[in-house]
Amino acid sequence: MLLVAITLSGYSTIDRLLPSSGNLRLGAVNAEGLTFAQGGSVGDVNLGRIGEIIKPVEVPTDVAVNHSPVTYIVGDNEDLKSIAARYSVTMDDLRWSNSALTGTDRVTQGQTLDVPPIPGVVVTVKAGDTAASIANAYHVDVSAVVDFNYLRDPDHLVAGSTVVVPRGVGPVLFPRRASSDPPKLGPYANSKFYYGYCTWYVASRRPVPWTGDAWQWYGGAKALGFQVGNVPQPGAIMVTWESWVGHVAYVEAVYADGSWTVSEMNYKGWGVIDQRTIKPGELPLIGFIY
């Protein structure tokens, strides 16, 4: 959609604005003169009164981006995952934006949250904070903070006010989860492992291109170029010597004290899916496949 703005001015000075050409006459028989005086088109150029060139102005039709944090009250049976999906941000974005969620990813009905309007972090300014210090803390360029928040004085922010850090990334948070869903069979079909056993279950949770008994998984994955190690990570495969053929489980969550929760099959019984939380040193660990 184009809006055309026409400035009507200079009526009293028309005689001084007329071209000096003797061929220009303001009579009905001279189209060029009429166009210059009254407005119209000459070729591809639109003219206003007294020959003023009119430039079409394109009006944007996209919805304007909100630059202010959203205040959200948690409803009944809502969780952090559903709220994050509602606003197209991540669970970590919400946790970094709300100090009450630093050590938990659980919310309660009636709880008030600050939600960033775009993926990023809502920061409550503390005394002495500047745009540069906030940008450094959340690993973005200072111009992103200044521009998004329309800051007039980036070096003197008001304590207690809020700024949004677009695409900001805060510290590692715990617990860290692979999923908020209860343990269940995954979407990956496989015919290399027998139903009801730990290997069959884990191969349903993520693609497993290797074969062999559970204890062989660590070496098999490493040989195929997969990263392995001794630190639990959400979504990793835990490999142990908990039976004579070994045991594998899927890491669901990792906690600040170094413990981790796994889901597994055939630990409590054949074909049975269960969960347990493990502390470092509690079992004969072979390692983790990432």
Q: What is the pLDDT of residues 149-180, one digit of tens each?
A: 999 999 999 999 999 999 999 999 999 999 88
Look at residues 151, 84, 77 and name the one whose alpha carbon lies nearest to residue 115. Answer: 84
| The pLDDT of residue 49 | 56
CATH of the domain spanning 177-289, picked from 3.30.1490.190, 1.10.3720.10, 3.40.190.10, 3.90.1720.10: 3.90.1720.10
| 273-280 mean pLDDT | 97
Cα(170)–Cα(276) distance, rounded to whole angstroms? 29
- Please calculate the CA angle 225-228-231 and round it to the nearest 5 degrees: 160
**pLDDT over 70, % of the chain:** 78
Tell me what the pLDDT averaged over the chain comes to. Answer: 86
Provide the residue ranges of all domains of the chain, joining segments of one domain with +. Answer: 2-58, 70-173, 177-289
Q: What is the pLDDT of residues 111-120, one digit of tens each?
A: 999 999 999 9
| 58-81 mean pLDDT | 86
More confident residue, 189 or 205: 205
Q: Which run of H or E residues covers position 286?
A: strand 285-289
pTM: 0.69
| The pLDDT of residue 124 | 98
CB-neighbour burial class of residue 255 (10 A; exposed 0-12, middle 13-18, buried 19+): middle
String of DSSP letters for 183-195 = P---S---SSS-T
- Helix H, strand E, coil C: the string for 59-127 is CCCCCCCCCCCEEEECCCCCCHHHHHHHCCCCHHHHHHHCHHHCCCCCCCCCCEEEECCCCEEEEECCC
| 49-73 mean pLDDT | 71
CATH 3.50.50.60 fits 70-173, yes or no: no
